[in-house]
Structure 1
Amino acid sequence: MICGNAAGEILPPYVNYKSDNMWSTWTEGGPPGTRYNRPESGWFDTSTFEDWFFSLVLSTLRRQEGKKLLIGDNLSSHINMEVLKACKSHNIAFVALPPNSTHLTQPLDVAYFRPLKLRWRQILDQWKETPEG
């Protein structure tokens, strides 16, 4: 999970593994502040979303003044009463994007990940044309 704001500040990554155990070798050498979790499914469930919100997002947004906006997709685990209560008490508006629209409307998907994926694809295509590829 990656979260950032309009000023270009990025929160530390939140990494999920589908695993029964969390191995120390998975958590070594990551960016500072990275948080790791291992939900049974490997996907963000309600518990994982709460952990992400309370451990990374809320601690960051508390330090910022004024009204804040948290934009999320319409995943059911993101509609969480504890998170919504915390948003309300800390002056954070939580907006869920319309279903099946994040590829068009989610700021990070449109402005960051799409160009990143296109460039990475170009790099891989160029590498495949080399003797090493």
Structure 2
Amino acid sequence: MPPRYIWSQRGGSPKLSKGENHSYRMTAVLTIRRDGLKLPILFVIKGQPGGRIDTNEFPSYPAGHYYAVQNKAWMDSGVWQQYIWFVLAERVTGKSVLVLDKFESNVSAEGKETASLLGYDVCALPPNATSHCQPLDVSIMAPFKSHMRDLWIAEDMVSDNSDGNDDDWMSPAAHLKWRVMIDRAIKAWDKITPEQVRGSFFKAIPKPKHP
């Protein structure tokens, strides 16, 4: 079964040690628009710009979504700049408000300046507030993760005995698992309906009632 919980020894920490983190981890950036539009997913994979994954692997990945490399598979200022120009700028036009997690790359002076050039005002949510007033966390992430679990159960799992070493992020096993996770995330994202997206904004950011 796909995991829902982290089990740990009584009195111990549930956190994973550095050595236990999978080398094929990735970041998936999800964005929705108030009118019900789901933007393409940005997948951030461990690698170097201009390296083999960037130049040879990405062209074979599913079209309609975006891919970037970063040495820790995380959102940094460079990846955020790519996302603003290649994803947001093409689909969010005119004066708009970006409701963002308070990641450093999102709320940095450089990030805000770029957003301003495109007519965006950045609304950085305070800590521990996303579950109450960020539309994705309020109504979208739970069904998205549920779809991910259902797909995990339904699909043929990648064998742990496949060729290659998981500790080597350049191995064939790592590349295969990246592709499986990408395909699964895209299928789960496709299952989120425009009605769910629109409803998430009404629930997280209700319109004020006039007396």
Q: TM (normalized to structure 1)? A: 0.75
- Alignment of 1:76 with 2:108, yes or no, is no
Structure 1 residue 124 displacement after superposition: 7.1
Structure 1 residue 29 displacement after superposition: 4.5
Q: Secondary structure at the match of 2:136?
A: helix
- Higher relative contact order, chain-length normalized (CA < 8 Å, sep 6+): 2
Q: Secondary structure at the match of 1:17?
A: strand
The C-alpha deviation readout for 1:52-73, integer Å capped at 9, x for no partner, is 1111112322xx34x2111110
Q: Secondary structure at the match of 1:54?
A: helix
Match for 2:86 among 55, 59, 62? Answer: 55
Equivalent residues of 2:101, 2:124 under 8 A apart: yes
Tell me, in whole angstroms, the C-alpha distance in 2 between the residues paired with 1:102 and 1:27.
34
The C-alpha deviation readout for 1:49-104, integer Å capped at 9, x for no partner, is 1111111112322xx34x21111100111123333223323331110011233233
Task: Mark the runs of 5 or more structure 2 residues left unpaired by the alignment.
Answer: 1-28, 155-211
Match for 1:28 among 43, 60, 72? Answer: 60
The one-letter amino acid of 1:91's match is G
Task: Mark the runs of 5 or more structure 1 residues left unpaired by the alignment.
Answer: 128-133
Equivalent residues of 2:107, 2:122 under 8 A apart: no
Equivalent residues of 1:12, 1:31 under 8 A apart: no
Cα root mean square deviation, aligned = 2.4
* Number of residue pairs the alignment of both structures matches: 122
Seen in structure 2, the aligned counterparts of structure 1 residues 101 and 115 have a Cα distance that, compared at 3 Å, is: same
Tell me, in whole angstroms, the C-alpha distance in 1 between the residues paired with 2:81 and 2:120.
15
Tell me, in whole angstroms, the C-alpha distance in 2 between the residues paired with 1:126 and 1:88.
43
Ranges of 4+ aligned residues in structure 1 off by more than 4 Å: 124-127
Q: TM (normalized to structure 2)? A: 0.50
Number of the residue aligned with 2:32: 4
Number of the residue aligned with 1:131: none
Tell me, in whole angstroms, the C-alpha distance in 2 between the residues paired with 1:31 and 1:113.
23
Seen in structure 2, the aligned counterparts of structure 1 residues 119 and 35 have a Cα distance that, compared at 3 Å, is: closer
Number of the residue aligned with 1:130: none
Q: Identity over the aligned pairs, expressed in percent? A: 22
Match for 1:90 among 118, 143, 146? Answer: 118
Tell me, in whole angstroms, the C-alpha distance in 2 between the residues paired with 1:125 and 1:57.
30
Seen in structure 2, the aligned counterparts of structure 1 residues 124 and 95 have a Cα distance that, compared at 3 Å, is: same
Tell me, in whole angstroms, the C-alpha distance in 2 between the residues paired with 1:7 and 1:96.
21
